[in-house]
């Protein structure tokens, strides 16, 4: 009964095809790790999923004289690059079970800070994404082989595979795409069957989300290229071509808002980020979902572009 119960729902701003790895730590006031877990997240697969995580204290009963926190670090698993972090204080330390329910919006870009009072010896100073709600605004994100509040503790016992990232003095391994296991030594063999069409990237599903009876399609996610969709990227998506009039200043990018009207409910919205090719006055969108309205947003203005009276797939 000495644990933290965490329910997480995740939503990226624009990265619908990015594979995110969320590393969730239970830490004390000195940033010592009590326990950890992780979530592998892809928007096209996990958009409405609520993840339940349980974190245990390293000693039970816990030390009530300490302050405890949940820290969540986000990485781009394809590039193995850091994106952002959140910190959530556990305010009622006397409770045997602490419950948190949070929704995270992953920013498109990494957080940038102009000044930091922390002296991170072997790492970089990072601002928490929710710093405006916290007394603690920053922390030191340590380089590999270092840990501690200011990244001053050196450790050499990392057993992670050479193409992974070793985190903390307990050697948590951040695995690259299609590798898993405590030390990232195992491969997802499902992707060797070439089930994804048009030479698209295959992502093996996290083994924590599978059962022994899962079908081959359930065991993988295909990251389709633009213009294709379906489980294995077989379907060709409808195309929408947009042209800017001569009297409109052509933007560097647009936001396309696809709206679906649902009776007696809040309308559903899918937002697509699209760069406008340099020195061109047109842009092409692909959409596999049905919708009623399409609004194009740029330069703080909205343009009603398509109005469909019936809910149906758009035709080229």
pLDDT in tens, 273-307: 899 988 888 999 998 888 999 999 999 999 999 99
The yes-or-no verdict on residue 131 having pLDDT over 70 is yes
Is 31 or 168 the better-scoring residue by pLDDT? Answer: 31
Instruction: Name which of 82-86, 158-162, 306-310 the model is least confident about.
Output: 158-162
Q: Which residue has the tokens 């965490």?
A: 6
The strand pair at 235-236 and 228-229 is best described as antiparallel
Q: How many residues does the chain have?
A: 316
> pLDDT tens digits, residue range 246-278?
888 999 999 999 999 988 888 888 888 899 988
Is the whole model's pTM more than 0.85, yes or no? no
Report which listed range, 31-45, 70-84, 192-206, is most confident.
70-84
Instruction: Name which of 2-6, 12-16, 130-134, 160-164 the model is least confident about.
Output: 12-16
Q: Which domains does the chain have, with CATH numbers?
A: 3-138 (2.60.40), 188-235 (2.10.25.10), 238-312 (2.60.40)
Q: Residues 40-68: what's their mean pLDDT?
A: 88
Q: What is the H or E stretch that residue 274 is in?
A: strand 268-275
pLDDT for 208 equals 62
Q: How far apart are CA 22 and CA 70, in angstroms?
A: 12
Q: How far apart are CA 285 and CA 274, in angstroms?
A: 8
Residue 72: name the closest of 157, 132, 141, 15 by CA.
141
Q: Return the bridge partners of 140, or none.
A: 125
The yes-or-no verdict on residue 313 having pLDDT over 80 is no
pLDDT for 160 equals 87
Angle (CA) 23-51-194 rounded to 5° is 80
Q: How far apart are CA 223 and CA 230, in angstroms?
A: 10
The yes-or-no verdict on residue 214 having pLDDT over 60 is no
């Amino acid at each position: 009964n000495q644990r933290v119960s965490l329910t997480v729902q995740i939503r990226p701003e624009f990265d619908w095809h990015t594979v995110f790895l969320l590393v969730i730590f239970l830490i004390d006031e000195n940033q010592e790790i009590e326990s950890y877990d992780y979530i592998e997240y892809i928007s096209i697969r996990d958009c409405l999923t609520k993840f339940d995580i349980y974190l245990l204290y390293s000693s039970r009963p816990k030390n009530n004289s300490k302050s405890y926190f949940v820290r969540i670090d986000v990485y781009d698993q394809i590039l193995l690059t850091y994106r952002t972090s959140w910190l959530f204080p556990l305010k009622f330390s006397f409770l045997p079970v602490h419950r948190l329910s949070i929704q995270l919006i992953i920013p498109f870009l990494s957080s940038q800070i102009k000044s930091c009072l922390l002296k991170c010896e072997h790492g970089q100073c990072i601002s928490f994404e929710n710093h405006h709600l916290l007394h603690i605004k920053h922390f030191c994100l340590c380089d590999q082989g270092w840990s501690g509040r200011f990244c001053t503790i050196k450790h050499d016992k990392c057993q992670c595979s050479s193409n992974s990232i070793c985190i903390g003095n307990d050697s948590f391994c951040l695995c690259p795409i299609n590798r898993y296991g405590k030390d990232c030594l195992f491969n997802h063999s499902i992707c060797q069957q070439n089930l994804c069409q048009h030479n698209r990237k295959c992502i093996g599903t996290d083994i924590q989300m599978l059962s022994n009876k899962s079908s081959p399609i359930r065991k993988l996610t295909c990251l389709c290229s633009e213009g294709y969709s379906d489980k294995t990227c077989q379907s060709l998506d409808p195309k929408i071509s947009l042209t800017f009039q001569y009297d409109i200043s052509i933007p560097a990018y647009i936001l396309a808002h696809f709206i679906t009207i649902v009776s007696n409910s809040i309308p559903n919205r899918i937002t697509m980020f699209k760069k406008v090719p340099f020195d061109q006055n047109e842009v092409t969108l692909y959409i596999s979902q049905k919708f009623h309205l399409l609004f194009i947003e740029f330069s703080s203005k909205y343009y009603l572009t398509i109005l469909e009276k019936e809910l149906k797939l758009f035709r080229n």
